[in-house]
Structure formats: C-alpha cells, structure tokens
Chains A and B, each alone.
Chain A
Amino acid sequence: QKEVEQNSGPLSVPEGAIASLNCTYSDRGSQSFFWYRQYSGKSPELIMSIYSNGDKEDGRFTAQLNKASQYVSLLIRDSQPSDSATYLCAVNKGNRGSTLGRLYFGRGTQLTVWP
C-alpha cells in the first residue's frame, strides 16, 4: 500500500465550479497534512496545511481532515483557469512542529479549469 494516494485524474471542471480533490494516507500516526500546487515544469508551492480534524478555510480553498478515516481533501470554490495545475497531497510522518519530519507525496491530481 502506498503511503499517500490521491484520486485518479485528470479532473476537469468549468470556470466558477467547485473542484474537489481527495487523498488518503496509510500511516495512522501521521500528524501534519499539506496541499501543494505544481504547475508544469515548476516546483510545488504550498497552498494549505492542516493538522486537526475538521475544515480549514483560506480564501477559495478549504482543506478537510478526517483522521479516523485517514482522509484529506481540498475544495476549490469558484475555480479559475489559473487554478489549472497538478495538486499534490503530502503527509508529514514526524511529530507536529518537528523539523525532522519528512514529507511523503501522492502522485497528484491534474486539474483543468475551462473557461
């Protein structure tokens, strides 16, 4: 079983719609969860981090965490063509706040937002 798995893509939504991205992880002891966005040929850029069960909102982005189900999701409201990218779910298996933690990434979900 892979450490981090993401729903298969690609995902295509019209401009203004809600895009839903999902991720599951295998290590129940994981503490920190991240969503990164990666444009083609570029390195990942951080969108959000989440540590506690529930929802965390930042602008058009909402991250959801359910540790019991080992599930993390990202919702993008009012999707824009500029949101078209690959979205990577990452899990830090170290203790929260520990700089010794290492990130394990899913394969990513490619999102296309069409005008």
Chain B
Amino acid sequence: GAVVSQHPSRVICKSGTSVKIECRSLDFQATTMFWYRQFPKQSLMLMATSNEGSKATYEQGVEKDKFLINHASLTLSTLTVTSAHPEDSSFYICSAPTPNTDTQYFGPGTRLTVL
C-alpha cells in the first residue's frame, strides 16, 4: 500500500504553546489529505479536509482558528494546534487517498500531550 508519514510521532508541550504536525505522502501525490483525532477508547473523528492550494474544510465543531491547516505542496500537509491546552491532548492521525481512488492510507499518528 501507499506510504504516509507523520512527524513528530510524539510531542509533549506546555499549555499555551503551539505545536506543528507534518503529514507527508511519500510515494504519491495527494491533492487532498484528512486530519483525524482519536481520544482514548474512542473512534477516529474527522477534523478537517486539507486541500492543496486552497483553504481547508473543517468539520462541524472544529475551531479553524485553533487548528490551522496548511497544504503547502502535493505531498505535505501541516496541522498546527495553537495555544494548546490539556484537553487537546490526543492522538492525531492524517490520511491521504491515492490518486483517483477513495482508499485512504493513514500516517502512523502523532501523540500530543499538553501539560
């Protein structure tokens, strides 16, 4: 299957700081990527759709000013959690569909802990 990477895999930060998470498609181009969040013992919740060359589309209830998404190129999307708080601690996972398919491949995830 296609390969999607994320960096960092784990981050611990202080409350009030901002954290940037990178998502890369390594062997294919992705005009669209998706960002999910998963709290312990819960399912993945879609946060937003990242679109190369245009604004991201956010799901209902997700604050666009808090979760900044930039799709800088056909292989890179970044999610910045601004002014992070302990309740933002979660497992953040990106995914990308391979071209002309709706089969999505997931990155390994980033575990964020906000102290």
A residues adjacent to B (C-beta < 8 A): 32, 34, 36, 41-46, 49, 88, 92, 94, 96-108
A43 touches B109 (CB 8 A): yes
Expressed in whole angstroms, the Cα–Cα distance for A73 and B103 within the complex equals: 18
B residues adjacent to A (C-beta < 8 A): 1, 31-32, 34, 42-46, 49, 93, 95, 97, 99-109, 111
B34 touches A99 (CB 8 A): no
Expressed in whole angstroms, the Cα–Cα distance for A88 and B111 within the complex equals: 19
Interface contacts beyond A99-B100, A99-B101, A99-B102: sample of 16 additional A-B pairs, CB < 8 Å, sorted by A: A41-B111, A42-B109, A43-B109, A44-B93, A44-B106, A88-B43, A97-B102, A100-B49, A102-B34, A102-B46, A102-B49, A103-B95, A105-B43, A106-B43, A107-B43, A108-B43
A101 touches B106 (CB 8 A): no
- Of the residues B45, B102, B105, B108, contact of A94 by C-beta under 8 Å: B102
Expressed in whole angstroms, the Cα–Cα distance for A101 and B103 within the complex equals: 10
